[in-house]
Amino acid sequence: MKQEYQDLILQACEASSLSIGTHIQTLWSGYGEIVRVHLQGCERPSVVVKHIKFPEDAEHPGGWNTDRSHQRKVRSYEVETHWYQNYSTNHMCRIPVCVAAHSYGDEMLIVLEDLDLAGFDQRRSKVKDGEIRACLSWLAHFHALFLGVSPEGLWPIGTYWHLETRPDEMEAMDDAELKAAASEIDRILNECRFKTIVHGDAKLANFCFSSSRTDVAAVDFQYVGGGCGMKDVVYFLGSCMEERECEKRVPDLLDYYFTELKSSVTTEVDFASLEAEWREMFAFAWTDFHRFLLGWMPGHWKINRYSKQLTKVVLQKLKL
């Protein structure tokens, strides 16, 4: 790590010295890394540093290493930096505190609170019902907190699969009927009466659990922006449940999400209308992500019977 980066961390944390610790992960397409940095002489024993370095030759796992893809990633890190510097949440939808952030030409540094030290040291690749509900509760409180809030400095329309930012994947689709309907589905989602700020990448891997498994915190805000809360809900559920589980469990889990949302909304809002609209948008949001997958990675495990059934329902509604 360059000395100027170390100096930024030392100054921000008021530490006397530091040492580079665990490599946590490499960023998508080789755009840098996330590392734990141990500190001495200050109140924080450690911080987590997201070091973004734009590569000369990006290697995308799906082969989508175009200039458009690069520019989208650059913008995503600018958005994430703005998010951490200008937005905050509460203990019901916990995120890491931003200690410092700085841009160095084609490199960026985001210094974050170490959530492991805050009690969120558990990660899950598979989850039980209580853990799913903990994440849905986080999303409900997050959506309630930002209900009606304009996404200033963020993506105008959140989520990494938003149609306007994915023309290449759209062009690669083989499903002609869904391809023809994609713009209309996108329009319907974007013109929702009730909007909030969505996390934009609310998959299971971006949630950190407490040892009790009842409390969670979320990370990775590269695609945070405006939109219908159902986008986060469908993406999260699809990230941790296979098709048979979805068919069996989604109705009850949706009921739970809306119960949590209703209890956490503090602004004056016609909640019955909000719930009716967002329930209607559930299938549209799921189909929207399904559209992205069909172009991006047509062999993906999430392209399953449940997704196809919801898509069929949406296409039928559009015909009517």
CATH code of the domain in which 211 resides: 3.90.1200.10
User: Do 145 and 239 have their domain in common?
Assistant: yes
**Segments of the chain with pLDDT less than 50:** none
In a domain, 123, yes or no: no
Signed CA dihedral, 66, 67, 72, 77: sign only: positive
In a domain, 124, yes or no: no
User: Are the C-beta atoms of residues 154 and 226 closer than 8 Å to each other?
Assistant: yes
Number of independent structural domains in the chain: 2
Return the closest-CA partner of residue 276 out of 262, 296, 291, 294: 262
User: Do 98 and 155 have their domain in common?
Assistant: no
pLDDT of residue 146: 98
286-290: long-range pairs with CB below 8 Å, 24+: 286/234, 286/238, 286/310, 286/311, 287/178, 287/185, 287/311, 287/314, 287/315, 288/161, 288/163, 288/182, 288/185, 288/186, 288/189, 288/231, 289/161, 289/231, 289/234, 289/235, 289/238, 290/178
Per-residue pLDDT tens over the stretch 73-98: 999 999 999 999 999 999 999 999 99
In a domain, 256, yes or no: yes
What predicted TM-score, i.e. pTM, was given to this entire model? Answer: 0.95
In a domain, 119, yes or no: no
User: Do 104 and 185 have their domain in common?
Assistant: no
pLDDT of residue 1: 86
User: Do 88 and 157 have their domain in common?
Assistant: no
Mark out the alpha helices in the chain (DSSP H runs).
3-13, 67-86, 129-145, 167-172, 176-190, 230-240, 243-264, 271-296, 305-319
Return the closest-CA partner of residue 231 out of 271, 185, 171, 173: 185
Signed CA dihedral, 133, 48, 40, 16: sign only: negative
Determine the angle formed by the axes of helices 271-296 and 243-264, rounding to 10 degrees.
140
Distance of CA 193 to the CA centre of its chain: 22
What residues make up the domain containing 275?
129-319
Structure tokens at 154: 């963020």
User: What percent of the chain lies above the pLDDT cut of 70?
Assistant: 97
Report helix, strand or coil for 281. Answer: helix
User: Are the C-beta atoms of residues 295 and 175 closer than 8 Å to each other?
Assistant: no
pLDDT of residue 106: 86
pLDDT of residue 64: 52
In a domain, 121, yes or no: no
Rounded Cα–Cα distance for residues 98 and 49 (Å): 10
In a domain, 216, yes or no: yes
Per-residue pLDDT tens over the stretch 281-296: 999 999 999 999 999 9
Distance of CA 205 to the CA centre of its chain: 10
Rounded Cα–Cα distance for residues 63 and 65 (Å): 6
Rounded Cα–Cα distance for residues 232 and 11 (Å): 36
For residue 81, what is the domain's CATH number? Answer: 3.30.200.20
User: Are the C-beta atoms of residues 271 and 263 closer than 8 Å to each other?
Assistant: no
pLDDT of residue 67: 82
Enumerate helices (H) and strands (E) in the chain, giving the number of each. 9, 9
- C-beta atoms surrounding 76 within 10 Å: 23
pLDDT of residue 62: 55
Q: Over the Cα atoms of the chain, what is R_g?
A: 20
pLDDT of residue 149: 97
pLDDT of residue 32: 93
In this structure, are strands 107-113 and 32-40 parallel, antiparallel, or unpaired?
A: unpaired
User: Do 64 and 185 have their domain in common?
Assistant: no
pLDDT of residue 57: 61
In a domain, 281, yes or no: yes
User: Are the C-beta atoms of residues 76 and 51 closer than 8 Å to each other?
Assistant: no
Per-residue pLDDT tens over the stretch 147-199: 999 999 999 999 999 999 999 999 999 999 999 999 999 999 999 999 999 99
311-to-1, 36, 68, 177 alpha-carbon distances in Å:
47, 42, 28, 10
